[in-house]
Amino acid sequence: MKTVVVTDSTSYIPKHIRENLNIHMIPLSVVINGETYREEIDISASDFYDEVRNGQRLPTTTQPPIGEFEELYNELSKEYDAIISIHLSSGISGTFQGAVAAADMLEGAKVYPYDSEISCMAQGFYVLAAATMAQNGKNPEEILARLDDLKASMRAYFMVDDLSHLQRGGRLSSAQALIGSLLNIKPILHFVDKVIVPFEKIRTRKKAMKRIEELLDEDARKGQPLQATIIHANRVEEAASWKKELSALYPHVDFTISYFGPVIGTHLGEGAMGLCWTKK
Ligand code: MYR
């Protein structure tokens, strides 16, 4: 049984890693001043933040057309028996539904669409695990079981500098009144049942980061080896210094730095910062 892994651009896995692990990527796009850019292909994260910082019109995002899934699945079905297709949460994008629709139409290989129920490098952890297992000849059932196992211990908390991006894009699942009460503070956000909800109201960015550290501490102190990623929206230095601090405190946690690319950055805004972890 030959298995291959597909994901979308919002897992933000660097190209050389995708190539090494034979991960196929379908891009979502951002629309800036009427121009459509496929992220990770036509526009980089830093160019995106530069472009929109001074732009007149705010960007929007689009999911990949179903035809792109069909085309890629058809191509892969010539060589592989099974395709595991891992996508950002179906509660925030129609991308997963696109994968499901294209999978239903495919003849030949069997497609297993997998709803990560999250996005960014947290989703990337699933993709990397699945691709490594596929390369080692594991079958789809074993791979999906491992993904569910990782999902059970996945934690992801993030904060934004300016909540109006999430509000404008309609991706914050809360009553309007609650959103109003959050606008002048730095709430910690997380995913519950595939959608983004406030986790705790915190007044300042520094306190929010400390609180996220406490949440990591609760899991890290159990001693189990963890993999963690700091995700930033154009805050390279702040992310690096947070990583240094956390790595010294938790030597048994494997920390990496990742980023909120153009599509997710459209909804979170520049300056967003997050920390995700799961068992290894
Ligand atoms: C689309 O147009 O289909 C894409 C919509 C993307 C919405 C993104 C909302 C923010 C997600 C934050 C992820 C944080 C992960 C740790």
pLDDT < 50 regions, the chain: none
Residue written as token pair 């993709």: 127
Q: What is the Å distance from ligand 1's center to 216 Cα?
A: 22
| Residue whose CA is at the smallest distance from ligand 1 atom 4 | 93
Query: What does the domain layout of the chain look like in residue ranges?
Result: 3-28+63-152, 155-279
Bridge partners, 7 (sequence order)? 25, 86
The answer to whether 208 and 189 are in contact (CB under 8 A) is no
pLDDT at 81: 97
Q: How many helices (H) and strands (E) does the chain have?
A: 11, 13
Q: Candidates 32, 87, 92, 123: which one to mutate for ligand 1, based on the most atoms within 8 Å of Cβ?
A: 92
**Separation of 11 CA from ligand 1 center, angstroms?**
10
Is the CATH number 3.30.479.10 carried by domain 155-279?
Answer: no
Counting every residue written for the chain, the total comes to: 280
The fold of 3-28+63-152 is Rossmann fold (3.40.50)
Residue 137 alpha carbon to ligand 1 centre in Å: 32
Could you tell me if 1 and 82 are in contact, meaning their C-beta atoms sit under 8 angstroms apart?
Answer: yes
* Cα-to-centroid distance, 150 and ligand 1 (Å): 20
238 alpha carbon – ligand 1 mean position (Å): 22
Report the chain's mean pLDDT, rounded to a whole number: 94
The pocket around ligand 1, CB under 6 angstroms, is made up of 28, 61-63, 92-95, 118-120, 122, 156, 158, 171, 231, 263-264, 267-268, 274, 276
Q: How far is the CA of 172 from the centre of ligand 1 (A)?
A: 10
The span from the CA of 134 to the CA of 157, in Å, is 29
Q: Tell me, what's the pLDDT at 55? A: 77
Pocket test for ligand 1, best of 48, 168, 171 (most atoms within 8 A of CB): 171
pLDDT of residue 175: 59
What pLDDT does 162 receive? 87
Amino acid at 217: D
State which amino acid sits at residue 35. Answer: E
Other C-beta atoms closer than 10 Å to the C-beta of 108 total: 13
